[in-house]
Amino acid sequence: MRTITGLLAATALTSASAAFATDLEVTHWWTSGGEAAAVAEFAKAFNEGTDHTWIDGAIAGSGSTARPIIVSRILGGDPMAATQLNHGRQAEELVEEGLMMDLTEIAEAEGWKDVVNPPSLLDACTLDGKIYCAPINIHSWQWMWLSHKAYADAGLDVPQNWDEFAASAPQLAEAGKIPLAMGQQAWQSNGAFGVMSIAIAGIDAWTDVFVNKNEETVMGPEYTKVFEAAAMAREFSKDSKVQDWNLATNLVITGQAGAQIMGDWAQGEFAVAGQVAGEDYTCLPGLGANEVIDTGGDAFYFPVNDDPEVTAAQKELASILMSKEAQVAFNLKKGSLPVRGDVDLSAANDCMKKGLKILADGGTVPSGDMALSRDILDELEDLLTEFWSDPSYSPEEAQKAYAEIISRAE
Amino acid sequence: MPDSNAAPRRVDGSRPPNPLFRNLTSKLAALPMVLTALVVFIGCTGWTIVHSFTGSKLLPKLNWVGFDQYEKLWNTRRWLISIENLALYGIFSLCFTLVIGFTLAALLDRKIRFEAAFRTIFLYPFALSFIVTGLVWQWILNPDLGIQHVVRSMGFTGFEFDPLYNASIVLYGLLIAGLWQGTGFVMVIMLAGLRGIDEDVWKAARVDGIPVWKTYIRVIIPMMRPVFITALVVITSGIIKLYDLVVAMTAGGPGIASEVPAKYVYDRMFSSQNLGQGFAASTMMLLAVAIILIPWAYLEFGGKKHD
């Protein structure tokens, strides 16, 4: 295919100066219903807005399945035209090796620096002053979802923060409900712990650990409270024997469980089930204690390509992904927040609006992906999933092990 | 076949040909195999070992860190748990596969009816990949869908059987699936071995009035030593590379209770983007295999030539 395009390009070089139609292969791991619909919006915008064609290279499975495939294709000399990755340090070495295209030119021409909010998103794409990726959306972890039905069945008021929730949990359990729904997969227990650490230890302590990598703070009183709360949460969630996050969310939707700590993507499940925020479920950003959200999310990288035609088309794609129209269309379907501060999202629901407000107020922290390398993140994940699944693992021991890992972070 | 080691005497008195060029065609024919062995097996193994002493992250680089990777490896709880799991799984799997495999083969060898049908049934699971085996058993052992559910719906509501969700017995859940998949193949190897036993041995045993079970243990099994060794090699290599079954059944969970070394290597190399650590772990696996296999293979195959 590429040779044909190349031949066409070569023969046409002499004759015309118009833009040529090029096929761009785009890889991503957005394969669930809502995600696929969202990415189709990008494909539509690209196919209609340019002469080029979007070739969809969806990779089934989660990011942890897709990422090695994507990386090995780029390293193996068979780069796709564009690919989804979580921005942050995952692609750091690929960029250092010069395998990713420098987008600084377009970014400056279109003023990405002025429109991208929060600016940390663009910082995560920047290495040595050059921009290497286009941020696409913001996903935040810091949400707790509460089922109104479960609380009504137990004859309790819906809690408004973590402490109230913790106090109500024993009564929920007595009423035959699972207080806290939790999937058994490692990334879920890890993520929930991250949410609890920001909400309970506070932003300063969290920043000191994740950004300054200060292991003494891990041993400090703020984090002690976090580990105690995590041990409580472990007890609350001991009866939820499901694997996938959406099955855990389903326990909340059907009122079998009181609450779940999960990122804003859970919202899509409530929407599909026809539930209304504020009536059927409550969302508490930052567990209702510290209303902040992290600004993780997805970004598109454009691997370096020998073909100038492809390079030109890659730049066009980058600019379309950042356009106002594509941002709105994509993020409404995806349930995530747009990276531009200057778009109108009046169609968003209550929970999304809460998120937008926090974003506008500047209540954001960088995501773990941006602050720590994958290696350290995986070690933390191993530790927390073990802690979460083994009731005999004491919070004090986990705290020590956590501090030890942080002390080795670069 | 003339003895190729004896240098042929030349009538015209010229120098004997260089031994390197003797049997040139067969040497040329063996060349691809030799190159494969040297480059792929020895070369890549050496490359991996060398890089296990570096701080390579996503890309292999030669920034030496000495034994840091190994130090980190042996201080990692998950690695220690993986080793322990593999050892336990290995011992149980080895014993049970051999015992069950041999018993089945001996039973089939008693000239029963429908032998071919039974053989096919027992061998069938081996035709499935570990991924499929893992998925099937994940469903069977799932408390809400499988055995526990069936028994409970028959009225035994207190019945509890959820090995994949219980950290202390998850290994046995894996073992059940592994045995189901692997014993059929061992049975067929054993059966082939039993068929190779001379009928006269049985006749002699019968004349002497030795009971059948005693004949098996005292006479047949010692005679089948080479077959057992083949089976042992097949089973052990399967155990050491145990990976897909775990991924399909538990993904290492609950927690990290069913992690295995091969999964540690993969996760460190590709998910954590820490090649150095992955190389160090795979070097340790190689070392373990070498420590067990080399002396044993030497005794088993090297010593025979002198008989």
**How does pLDDT run along chain B (307 residues), one tens digit per residue?**
444 454 455 556 566 667 777 788 888 888 888 888 888 888 999 999 999 998 888 888 888 888 888 998 998 889 999 999 999 999 999 999 999 999 999 898 888 888 888 888 888 888 888 888 888 898 888 887 888 888 988 888 888 888 888 888 899 999 999 999 888 899 999 999 988 888 888 888 889 888 888 888 888 888 888 888 888 888 888 888 788 899 888 888 788 888 999 999 988 888 888 889 999 999 998 898 888 778 777 877 765 554 4
What is the pLDDT, as a whole number, of residue A1? 45
Can you tell me the distance from the alpha carbon of A69 to that of A81, in angstroms, rounded to the nearest whole number? 14
Are both A250 and A328 inside the same structural domain?
no
Strands (E), A268-358: 281-285, 293-294, 298-301, 337-338
What is the pLDDT, as a whole number, of residue A144? 92
The minimum CA-CA distance between A242 and chain B, rounded to whole Å, is 9
- Residue whose tokens read 């499988």: B146
Provide, as residue numbers in chain B, all residues whose Cβ is less than 8 Å from the Cβ of A185: 251, 253
What is the pLDDT, as a whole number, of residue B265? 92
pLDDT tens per residue across span A71-97: 889 888 888 999 998 866 778 888 888
Are both A310 and A402 inside the same structural domain?
no
What is the pLDDT, as a whole number, of residue B303? 57
Can you tell me the distance from the alpha carbon of A246 to that of A254, in angstroms, rounded to the nearest whole number? 12
Can you tell me the distance from the alpha carbon of A353 to that of A280, in angstroms, rounded to the nearest whole number? 17
CB distance from A160 to chain B under 8 Å? no
What is the pLDDT, as a whole number, of residue A13? 40
What are the phi and psi torsion angles at A85 (to 5°)?
Answer: -150, 160
Identify the contact set of chain B against chain A, taking CB-CB distances under 8 A. Answer: 57-59, 76-78, 143-144, 162, 165, 167, 251-257, 267-268, 270-274, 277
Provide, as residue numbers in chain B, all residues whose Cβ is less than 8 Å from the Cβ of A378: 267-268, 271-272
Report domain extents, chain B: 73-302
Given a cut of 80, whether residue A121 has pLDDT beyond it is yes
**Model confidence, pTM:** 0.77
The minimum CA-CA distance between B180 and chain A, rounded to whole Å, is 25
Contact by Cβ (8 Å): A7, A20: no
Are both A157 and A276 inside the same structural domain?
yes
User: Taking CB atoms and an 8 Å limit, are A401 and B57 in contact across chains?
Assistant: no
Q: Is residue A367 part of a domain?
A: no
Contact residues, A window 268-327, toward B, CB-based 8 Å cutoff: none
Contact by Cβ (8 Å): A265, A335: yes
pLDDT tens per residue across span A39-63: 999 999 999 988 899 999 888 877 7
User: Taking CB atoms and an 8 Å limit, are A383 and B251 in contact across chains?
Assistant: no
User: What is the arithmetic mean of pLDDT over A331-354?
Assistant: 80
Q: Is residue A180 part of a domain?
A: yes
The CATH code of the domain that includes A171 is 3.40.190.10
What is the pLDDT, as a whole number, of residue A302? 92
Contact by Cβ (8 Å): A77, A22: no
The minimum CA-CA distance between A230 and chain B, rounded to whole Å, is 15
Helix, strand or coil, per DSSP, at residue B38: helix
Are both A262 and A156 inside the same structural domain?
yes
Are both A118 and A26 inside the same structural domain?
yes
What is chain A's mean pLDDT, rounded? 85
Concatenate the DSSP letters of all residues of A140-168 into one string. Answer: ---EEEEEHHHHHHTT-PPPSSHHHHHHH
Given a cut of 80, whether residue A307 has pLDDT beyond it is yes
Chain pair A-B, CB pairs under 8 angstroms: 73
What is the pLDDT, as a whole number, of residue A7? 46
CB distance from A71 to chain B under 8 Å? yes
> Can you give the residue range of the structural domain that contains A223?
143-294+372-408
What is the pLDDT, as a whole number, of residue A189? 87
Mutate to test the interface with B, among A59, A189, A389 (most CBs of B within 10 A): A389
B295 preceded by a cis bond (ω within 30 of 0): no
Domain B73-302: CATH superfamily is MetI-like (1.10.3720.10)
Residues contacting residue A207 through CB under 8 Å, at least 6 positions apart: A365
Give pairs for A151-156: CB < 8 Å, separation 24+: A151/A258, A153/A177, A153/A255, A154/A258
User: Taking CB atoms and an 8 Å limit, are B253 and A186 in contact across chains?
Assistant: yes
What is the pLDDT, as a whole number, of residue B10? 55
Q: Is residue A12 part of a domain?
A: no
Can you tell me the distance from the alpha carbon of A384 to that of A402, in angstroms, rounded to the nearest whole number? 9
What is the pLDDT, as a whole number, of residue B288? 84
Are both A83 and A131 inside the same structural domain?
yes
Are both A147 and A224 inside the same structural domain?
yes
User: Taking CB atoms and an 8 Å limit, are B76 and A379 in contact across chains?
Assistant: yes
Can you tell me the distance from the alpha carbon of B209 to that of B103, in angstroms, rounded to the nearest whole number? 22
Q: Single out the residue of B67, B118, B93 nearest to residue B231, CA to CA.
A: B93
Are both A132 and A150 inside the same structural domain?
no
Q: Is residue A363 part of a domain?
A: no
B2 preceded by a cis bond (ω within 30 of 0): no
Structure confidence at residue A14 as a pLDDT band (50, 70, 90): very low
ipTM over 0.90: no
User: Taking CB atoms and an 8 Å limit, are B58 and A385 in contact across chains?
Assistant: no
Are both A262 and A303 inside the same structural domain?
no
CB distance from A164 to chain B under 8 Å? no
Can you tell me the distance from the alpha carbon of A115 to that of B182, in angstroms, rounded to the nearest whole number? 60
Q: Is residue A391 part of a domain?
A: yes
Can you tell me the distance from the alpha carbon of A183 to that of A204, in angstroms, rounded to the nearest whole number? 29
What is the pLDDT, as a whole number, of residue B15? 66
CA B46 → CA A272, B41, B74, distances in Å?
A: 54, 8, 21
Q: Which residues pair with A338 in a beta bridge?
A: A137
Are both A250 and A323 inside the same structural domain?
no
Given a cut of 50, whether residue A289 has pLDDT beyond it is yes
Residues contacting residue A128 through CB under 8 Å, at least 6 positions apart: none
Q: Is residue A207 part of a domain?
A: yes
Range with lowest mean pLDDT among A34-38, A168-172, B41-45: A34-38
Q: What secondary structure letter does DSSP report for B270?
A: I
What is the pLDDT, as a whole number, of residue B2? 46
What is the pLDDT, as a whole number, of residue B304? 53
Are both A182 and A236 inside the same structural domain?
yes
What is the pLDDT, as a whole number, of residue B18? 75
What is the pLDDT, as a whole number, of residue A202? 87
Q: Is residue A5 part of a domain?
A: no
Nearest-by-Cβ selection for B255 from A71, A375, A386: A386
Are both A153 and A264 inside the same structural domain?
yes
Element (H, E) at B193: helix B170-195
CB distance from A105 to chain B under 8 Å? no
The minimum CA-CA distance between B256 and chain A, rounded to whole Å, is 6
What is the pLDDT, as a whole number, of residue A371? 77
Q: Is residue A395 part of a domain?
A: yes
Can you tell me the distance from the alpha carbon of B62 to that of B56, in angstroms, rounded to the nearest whole number? 7
User: Taking CB atoms and an 8 Å limit, are A374 and B271 in contact across chains?
Assistant: yes
Provide, as residue numbers in chain A, all residues whose Cβ is less than 8 Å from the Cβ of B252: 186
pLDDT tens per residue across span A178-205: 999 998 888 888 889 989 998 898 888 8
CB distance from A403 to chain B under 8 Å? no
What is the domain count for chain A?
2
**A34 compared with A190, residue with greater pLDDT:** A190
